[in-house]
Amino acid sequence: KALGLSRRALAEQVSIDPRYLANIENSGDLPSVPVLYELARICKLPIERYFHPEAEPEGSEQRQRVGHKLKLCPEPYLPIIEGAIDGAIKIKE
């Protein structure tokens, strides 16, 4: 969703059936290593997280999700996000 891809479009990019992708998402089916690699690459996810979980960066799961979303955010929207973060920090102080 963060990349604006439908399930069908993502499945086509990975060369798999959309139903197989739905099973990975909804039923917890484990994809093959090549499919996992392509999904991570296309979705710009750090592949090492799946093969070396001990190397996970510090911070909560939510902080990691927000950090990943920031990497996907288009440059023109970053000042808006930065302003929201600045506002949240001031409220907390």
Tell me: the pLDDT tens digits for 32-60? 999 999 998 898 887 777 777 666 666 77
Single pTM value for the model:
0.57
In this structure, are 77 and 62 located in the same domain?
yes
Do 32 and 66 fall within a single domain? no
Q: Are residues 39 and 23 part of one domain?
A: yes
Residue 38 contacts residue 10 (beta carbons within 8 Å): no
Question: End-to-end distance of the chain based on CA atoms, in angstroms?
Answer: 33
Residue 7 and residue 17 in contact, taking contact as beta carbons nearer than 8 Å: no
Phi, psi of 83 (to 5 degrees): -65, -40
DSSP state of 45: -
Return the amino acid letter for 58: E
- By percentage, how much of the chain surpasses pLDDT 90? 29
Number of domains comprising the chain: 2
Question: Does residue 47 share a domain with residue 9?
Answer: yes
Structural domain that includes position 6? 1-56
SS3 category, 4:
coil
Q: Give the other-Cβ count within 10 Å of 14's Cβ.
A: 21
Give the residue among 38, 60, 59, 62 at the shortest CA–CA distance from 50: 38
